[in-house]
């Protein structure tokens, strides 16, 4: 079974984290919530507390997908942590899927993995993402090789379904069961 690591830093965006985790688990993926702190309890940017499955450890490199929820100051905490930057580089070097939403693509920019890649982010993070060498797009979800980025809370469900597809799982039955077909219809 494919495994996903979701990194939670103090001040993460709750809707982006929880909705994505929910969709991934509905698809049958194993999702481990990993606290960057020594505590299992992590508080989001809107004061909602989550209990992580675990704290940081050496076996994080064994996952198939690395998911970074956005939010502030959570994304700044992720970008300031050398362990996170090292993990992003390791996943990229192995060609593993890296997904970031909202302000979190700036973590990928800081790690140097967006050079020449198409990417998007929350509008206020655009300058950092562009400075990191990204070919900036304003699409809801942008996929370029092993990198998947998205804009924010309003794009979280298409983002999560894209992650399901990236893990080799057909998301159509999931979209139907969650009444999401309308969101993906072409006009």
Q: Is 161 a catalytic residue?
A: no
Residue 109: C-alpha distances to residues 30, 43, 76, 94, 139 (Å): 27, 25, 12, 17, 18
Angle at CA of residue 70, ends 65 and 72, nearest 5°:
150
From the list 7, 79, 102, 160, the catalytic residue is 102
Which residues on adjacent β-strands are paired with residue 101? 150
Question: Which residues in 102-187 belong to E strands, given as ranges?
Answer: 118-119, 135-136, 141-144, 147-150
The set of catalytic residues is 102
């Amino acid at each position: 079974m494919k495994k996903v690591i979701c990194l939670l830093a103090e001040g993460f965006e709750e809707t982006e984290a929880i909705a994505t985790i929910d969709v991934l688990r509905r698809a049958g993926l194993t999702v481990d919530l990993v606290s960057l702190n020594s505590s299992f309890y992590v508080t989001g940017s809107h004061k909602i507390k989550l209990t992580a499955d675990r704290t940081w450890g050496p076996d994080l490199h064994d996952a198939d997908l690395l998911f970074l929820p956005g939010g502030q100051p959570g994304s700044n905490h992720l970008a300031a942590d050398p362990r996170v930057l090292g993990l992003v580089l390791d996943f990229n070097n192995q060609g593993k899927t890296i997904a970031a939403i909202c302000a979190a693509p700036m973590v990928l920019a800081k790690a140097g993995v967006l050079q020449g890649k198409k990417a998007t982010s929350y509008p206020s993070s655009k300058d950092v993402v562009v400075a990191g060498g990204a070919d900036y797009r304003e699409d809801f979800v942008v996929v370029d090789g092993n990198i998947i980025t998205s804009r924010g809370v309003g794009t979280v469900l298409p983002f999560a379904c894209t992650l399901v597809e990236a893990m080799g799982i057909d998301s159509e039955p999931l979209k139907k069961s969650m009444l999401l077909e309308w969101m993906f219809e072409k006009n």
